[in-house]
Structure 1
């Protein structure tokens, strides 16, 4: 996944109060879209140190923390060990490079991950294949922000354009809304965040 090297370097100091707060509002937004999730399995895709997924552990039957950064995965493994958590697993893997045919989930959520992915449509297509019938992909990310100029991340997303890409892939029942505004939230700029829910229906 994009920018793995950068995340490798900051893994040990990643959990700042600001990031913990954003993870909390992101996980709360995700929780609002969960339906009968207690019996379902989830993937925290691009989990980082697991800040969002750890908030949602009790909402699912089981969870897989997946990231491309070994150091980030080490951080989440330490948290799992320290808290003696049973219903979780970890996987260090890069979806942009190879596919996982034996991986399946009812819910996949990705919080501030898509902006780091160069080929958005390709990765969303791969995730479509991982989701079980009726499964949900939940995306939390920044609204498109013209004040952000970067060579390493997207400057956010237009919700309608993103929904269009996902409809083309085959996602259905797509709904999204902006749920959070913050100062200096995105590359030093004031920004807003949206959540998008979508479902896999192959019939």
Structure 2
């Protein structure tokens, strides 16, 4: 995944009050799309320090926290110890480099992760493969924002175009909506977040 080296450097100071607040808003939005998940397994894909997934631990039987940054994963390991978390696991892995054939989940969620991925179609296809039949992929990310100019991230996504790509991959029952607008939350620009729910 893109920008792993940057996230390795940011890991120790990543949990700012702003990031914690946005993660709470994102996890509350994701929770609205969860159906009978107490016995289900989930993957927090591109989890960072686990801010979103930690908020959802009680909603699932278990969550696998997956990220390409070893330093981010180390932060989560410390949280597992500190909060005595038992129904979770961690994995440092890059889906852009290879797929994990033995990895399966009922729900995969990714919050502000897609904008860091170079080959969006490849990764979404591999996540599709990792879902159990009837499983859900839930994406939280920024709307396309022409004010954002960057060499290291996408400048957000057009929801209709993303839904079209996901339909091509095989996802169905795709729905998306905006749920939050904030000041200077995307590369120091005002931006809106959307949530997209899809099913295998």
Partner of 1:175: 175
CA shift at 1:168, angstroms? 0.0
Which position in structure 2 is the counterpart of 1:33?
Answer: 33
Match of 2:132 in 1: 132
Which ranges in structure 1 are unaligned for 5 or more consecutive residues? none
Trace 1:1-203 onto structure 2 (pairs within 5 A).
1-200=1-200
Q: Distance in 1 between matches of 2:139 and 2:146?
A: 20
Runs of 4+ in 1 over 2 A off after TM superposition: none
Distance 2:11 2:123 in 1: 23
* Distance in 2 of aligned mates of 1:48 and 1:90: 11
SS of aligned partner of 2:101: coil
Structure 1 residue 170: deviation in Å?
Answer: 0.1
Aligned equivalents of 1:154 and 1:191: distance in 2? 13
RMSD: 0.3
TM-score, normalization by structure 1 = 0.98
Q: Deviation per CA, 1:180-199, whole angstroms, max 9, x where unpaired?
A: 00000100100000000000
| Offset from partner CA, 1:118-161 (integer Å, 9 cap, x none) | 11000000000000000000000000001000000000000000
TM-score (norm 2): 1.00
